Amino acid sequence: MAKILAIESSCDETACAIIEDGHVVLSNVVSTQIDTHKQFGGVVPEVASRLHVEKISIVIKEALEKAGMSVQDVDAIAYTKGPGLIGSLHVGVQAAKTLALMYKKPMLPTNHMAGHIYANAFVKELKFPLLALVISGGHSQLVWMKEEYSFEIIGDTLDDAVGEAYDKVSRVLGTGYPGGPVIDKLAKQGKEHYFLKTPKTDGTYDFSFSGLKSSVLQLIQREEKLGNPLVKEDVAFAFQEVAIHSLVDKTVAAIRDKKPAMLVLAGGVSANSRLREVMAEKMQAFPETDLILPPLSVCMDNAAMIGAAAWVAWQRQEFGTWEDSADSSMELSV
Ligand code: KG4
Ligand code: ZN
């Protein structure tokens, strides 16, 4: 049995978790900065770094207390190396290195997106080959994993990430940050009324969301010019239907071609209620592929998922070095 203390600080959540054997959560503490960034309509990197500095030791202490242990009792220190905001990442990296130095513990530098994928290991042991739909504020990717910890990007966004599109649409509707949960909720009260074109990226597993975002903007301007009152719920409905169906259609195409043993959703947008509903419905046609939906508690940024991914490196005894540092554009690799 191994206990990993994991630290996450890549964006606007300061988090620490203690995970046993990759899937038992002993504690999972997340301090979110959303209320501060809300005032600015999005994450302000410099403000985020400062808040991480203020919160990191408090969050680590709380995670240890909740798990009823001290740093001595853990076997390794995992941290998010990237991708993310560079100043934010550095806070977590330095906190992890300090603990590792003081308590002579090995370090496990971990990719944030791998963490999102491995959040699904809290539901069920992952089966390979596995397809992951990785959708967050910075990513929209289809990731093929032929085996444990091997990542091949088979589809990517040609422009914006889907979470970014949700956030921008919410901004133009004046419904605040982060946009995903708000649009998700508004869309439920909306109906078919406005028409938005589906993005075209034929013959590939790639996505595109910037055209859709611009169409929403044009729709709002057109209605304003015509003097029509804008029904925000219906705009949210139209946007969400197109965005979700484009994610689902590409994923289903990849499932049909590659026949994975498992499909997992990963990243903040995987909390979307409509996506979960449509994906579950479509996957009924593929009984040989197990669909895993990550629990809502680990969809948004957290450190439990970092501990789950780091567990693979721990088993292989693949440790980091003192030279490792934050990497804001770190890629998933084979
Ligand atoms: O994974 P995450 O917490 O942070 C990044 O790594 O980017 O994802 C945050 C993104 C934001 O863009 C947020 O608007 C989106 O996930 N999101 C959602 C929902 N909840 C969060 N998007 C659509 N529907 C949701 N329910
Ligand atoms: Zn994330």
pLDDT band for 200, please (50, 70, 90 cuts): confident
Distance 179 CA to ligand 1 centre (A): 8
Atom 8 in ligand 1: residue holding the nearest Cα: 268
Q: Is 40 helix (H, G, I), strand (E, B) or coil?
A: coil
pLDDT band for 334, please (50, 70, 90 cuts): low
Residue 301 Cβ inside 6 Å of ligand 1? The answer reads: yes
Atom of ligand 1 nearest to the CA of 84: 6
Q: What is the rounded (10 degree) CA torsion for 252, 256, 259, 262?
A: 20
Say how far apart CA 150 and CA 119 lie, in whole Å. Answer: 16
What superfamily would CATH give domain 3-118+298-315? Answer: ATPase, nucleotide binding domain (3.30.420.40)
Q: What is the pLDDT of residue 317?
A: 97
pLDDT band for 333, please (50, 70, 90 cuts): confident
Query: Across the beta sheet with 76-82, what order do the strands follow?
Result: 24-32, 13-20, 3-8, 76-82, 107-111
The label of the residue with tokens 């949960």 reads 181
Inter-CA distances, 174 with 86, 195, 241, 299, 318, Å: 29, 20, 20, 25, 47
Atom of ligand 1 nearest to the CA of 139: 7
Q: What is the pLDDT of residue 41?
A: 87
pLDDT band for 192, please (50, 70, 90 cuts): very high
Say how far apart CA 5 and CA 10 lie, in whole Å. Answer: 16
Number of the ligand closest to the Cα of 178: 1
Structure tokens at 152: 């091949």
Distance 160 CA to ligand 1 centre (A): 13
Read off the pLDDT of residues 8-23 as tens digits, 9 standing for 90 and up.
Answer: 999 999 999 999 999 9
pLDDT band for 149, please (50, 70, 90 cuts): very high
Atom of ligand 1 nearest to the CA of 161: 12
Atom 23 in ligand 1: residue holding the nearest Cα: 180
Residue 201 pLDDT more than 90? no
Residue 190 pLDDT more than 80? yes
Is residue 81 within 8 Å of residue 90, measured between CB atoms?
no
Distance 40 CA to ligand 1 centre (A): 17
Atom of ligand 1 nearest to the CA of 177: 14
Structure tokens at 35: 């209320």
As a whole number, the mean pLDDT across the chain is 96
Residue 181 Cβ inside 6 Å of ligand 1? The answer reads: yes
Residue among 38, 88, 166, 276 to mutate when testing ligand 1 (max atoms within 8 A of CB): 166
Which ranges constitute the DSSP H helices of the chain? 34-38, 45-67, 86-103, 112-118, 162-173, 179-188, 210-226, 232-258, 273-282, 304-315
- The helix or strand, by DSSP H or E, that contains position 4, with its residue range, turns out to be strand 3-8
Which residues have a Cβ under 8 Å from the Cβ of 98 and sit 6 or more positions away? none
Atom of ligand 1 nearest to the CA of 112: 6
Residue 209 Cβ inside 6 Å of ligand 1? The answer reads: no
Domain boundaries in the chain? 3-118+298-315, 127-293
Q: What is the pTM of this model?
A: 0.96
Say how far apart CA 235 and CA 239 lie, in whole Å. Answer: 6
Residue 110 Cβ inside 6 Å of ligand 1? The answer reads: no
Tell me which fold the domain 127-293 belongs to: Nucleotidyltransferase; domain 5 (3.30.420)
Read off the pLDDT of residues 234-284 as tens digits, 9 standing for 90 and up.
Answer: 999 999 999 999 999 999 999 999 999 999 999 999 999 999 999 999 999
Q: What is the pLDDT of residue 155?
A: 97
Which residues have a Cβ under 8 Å from the Cβ of 75 and sit 6 or more positions away? 2, 3, 4, 105, 106, 314
The full DSSP string for 244-307 is HHHHHHHHHHHHHHH--SEEEEESGGGG-HHHHHHHHHHGGG-TTSEEE---GGGTSS-SHHHH
Atom of ligand 1 nearest to the CA of 271: 26
Distance 192 CA to ligand 2 centre (A): 31
Q: What is the pLDDT of residue 202?
A: 82
Checking DSSP bridges between strand 262-266 and strand 290-292, what pairing results, if any?
parallel
Read off the pLDDT of residues 62-111 as tens digits, 9 standing for 90 and up.
Answer: 999 999 999 999 999 999 999 999 999 999 999 999 999 999 999 999 99
Structure tokens at 50: 């400062």
pLDDT band for 47, please (50, 70, 90 cuts): very high
Residue 82 Cβ inside 6 Å of ligand 1? The answer reads: no
Half-sphere exposure of 76 (CA within 13 A, CB side): 30
